[in-house]
A and B are shown apart, each in its own frame.
Chain A
Amino acid sequence: MSTLLYLIPVALFLGGISLVAFLWALRSGQYEDLDGAGERILIDDEEPKKPATPKRR
Chain B
Amino acid sequence: MSCCAPGAEFDATEAAVPSDEELLLASRSLGNGKRQVELALPAVHCAACIQTVEHALFELPGVEAARVNLSTKRVSVKWRDGQLPPITSTLTRLGYAPNLFDEAIAGRDGTMSELLRAVAVSGFAAGNIMLLSVSVWSGAEGATRDLFHWVSALIALPALFFAGRIYYRSAWSALRHGRMNMDVPIAIGVTLAYAMSLYETINHGSHAYFDASVTLLFFLLIGRTLDHMMRDRAREAVIGLARLAPRGALVVAPDGTRDYRPVEEIQPGMRVLIAAGERIPADGRVLDGRSDLDRSVVTGESAPVMIARGDMVQAGTLNLTGPLTLEATSTATSSFLAEMIRMLEAAEGGRARYRRIAERVSALYAPVVHLTAFVTFLGWMAWGGDWHQALTIAIAVLIITCPCALGLAVPIVQVVAARRLFEAGVMVKDGSAMERLAEADAVVFDKTGTLTLGRPRLVGAERIDPAVLGLAGSLASHSRHPLSLAIAAETDGDSTRFDDVTEQPGYGVEGRAGGHTWRLGRAAWATGAKGDGTVLARDGVEVARFEFEDRLRAGARDTVAEAERTIGPLEMLSGDSEAACARVAASLEIERYRSGMLPADKVARLTELSLSGHRVLMVGDGLNDAPALGAAHVSMAPASAAEIGRNAADFVFLRESLEAVPLARDIAVRAGRLIRENIAIAIVYNAIAVPVAILGYVTPLIAAIAMSGSSIIVIANALRLSPSREMKAETAPAATVVRATRPA
A-side interface residues toward B, CB under 8 Å?
Answer: 1, 4, 8, 11-12, 15-16, 18-19, 22-23, 26-27, 31-36, 39-43, 48, 50, 54-55
In the complex, the answer to whether A23 meets B117 with C-beta atoms within 8 Å is yes
B54 at the A interface (CB under 8 A): yes
Q: Which of A26, A35, A54 contacts B61 (CB 8 A)?
A: A54
CB pairs A–B below 8 angstroms (10 shown): A1-B143, A4-B144, A11-B128, A12-B155, A22-B120, A26-B117, A33-B71, A35-B70, A39-B47, A54-B61
Q: How far is the CA of A14 from the CA of B642 in the complex (A)?
A: 53
A-B contact count (CB 8 A): 61
Closest A-B pairs by Cβ, 6 of them: A36-B70, A42-B47, A39-B47, A35-B70, A33-B69, A19-B124
CB distance from A18 to the nearest CB of B (A): 8
Q: Which of B51, B69, B128, B144 contacts A12 (CB 8 A)?
A: B128
B-side interface residues toward A, CB under 8 Å?
Answer: 46-47, 50-51, 54-55, 58-59, 61-62, 68-72, 113, 116-117, 120-121, 124, 127-128, 131-132, 143-144, 147, 151, 155
Give the dominant DSSP class at B's interface: helix
- Could you list 14 further interchain pairs (A-B, Cβ under 8 angstroms) beyond the known A4-B144, A26-B120? A11-B131, A12-B155, A15-B124, A15-B127, A15-B128, A18-B124, A19-B121, A19-B124, A26-B113, A26-B116, A32-B69, A33-B70, A36-B50, A43-B47
In the complex, the answer to whether A40 meets B50 with C-beta atoms within 8 Å is yes
In the complex, the answer to whether A34 meets B58 with C-beta atoms within 8 Å is no
Q: How far is the CA of A54 from the CA of B54 in the complex (A)?
A: 16
Q: In the complex, which residues of chain B have a beta carbon less than 8 angstroms from the beta carbon of A36?
A: 50, 68-71
Q: How far is the CA of A56 from the CA of B736 in the complex (A)?
A: 38
CB distance from B132 to the nearest CB of A (A): 8
Q: In the complex, which residues of chain A have a beta carbon less than 8 angstroms from the beta carbon of B62?
A: 54
Q: How far is the CA of A50 from the CA of B70 in the complex (A)?
A: 23
Q: How far is the CA of A8 from the CA of B128 in the complex (A)?
A: 9
Q: How far is the CA of A28 from the CA of B13 in the complex (A)?
A: 38
Q: In the complex, which residues of chain B have a beta carbon less than 8 angstroms from the beta carbon of A12?
A: 128, 151, 155
Q: In the complex, which residues of chain B have a beta carbon less than 8 angstroms from the beta carbon of A41?
A: 47
In the complex, the answer to whether B69 meets A8 with C-beta atoms within 8 Å is no
CB distance from B311 to the nearest CB of A (A): 47
Q: In the complex, which residues of chain B have a beta carbon less than 8 angstroms from the beta carbon of A15?
A: 124, 127-128
Q: How far is the CA of A39 from the CA of B117 in the complex (A)?
A: 26
Q: In the complex, which residues of chain A have a beta carbon less than 8 angstroms from the beta carbon of B121?
A: 19
In the complex, the answer to whether A48 meets B55 with C-beta atoms within 8 Å is yes
Q: How far is the CA of A27 from the CA of B72 in the complex (A)?
A: 18
Q: In the complex, which residues of chain A have a beta carbon less than 8 angstroms from the beta carbon of B68?
A: 36
CB distance from A17 to the nearest CB of B (A): 10
Q: Which of A1, A19, A33, A55 contacts B72 (CB 8 A)?
A: A33
Q: In the complex, which residues of chain B have a beta carbon less than 8 angstroms from the beta carbon of A43?
A: 47, 50-51
Q: How far is the CA of A48 from the CA of B284 in the complex (A)?
A: 49
Q: In the complex, which residues of chain A have a beta carbon less than 8 angstroms from the beta carbon of B46?
A: 39
Closest to A5 in B: B147
Q: How far is the CA of A22 from the CA of B124 in the complex (A)?
A: 11
In the complex, the answer to whether A19 meets B120 with C-beta atoms within 8 Å is yes
Q: In the complex, which residues of chain A have a beta carbon less than 8 angstroms from the beta carbon of B58?
A: 48, 50
Q: In the complex, which residues of chain B have a beta carbon less than 8 angstroms from the beta carbon of A48?
A: 54-55, 58-59
Q: How far is the CA of A18 from the CA of B124 in the complex (A)?
A: 9
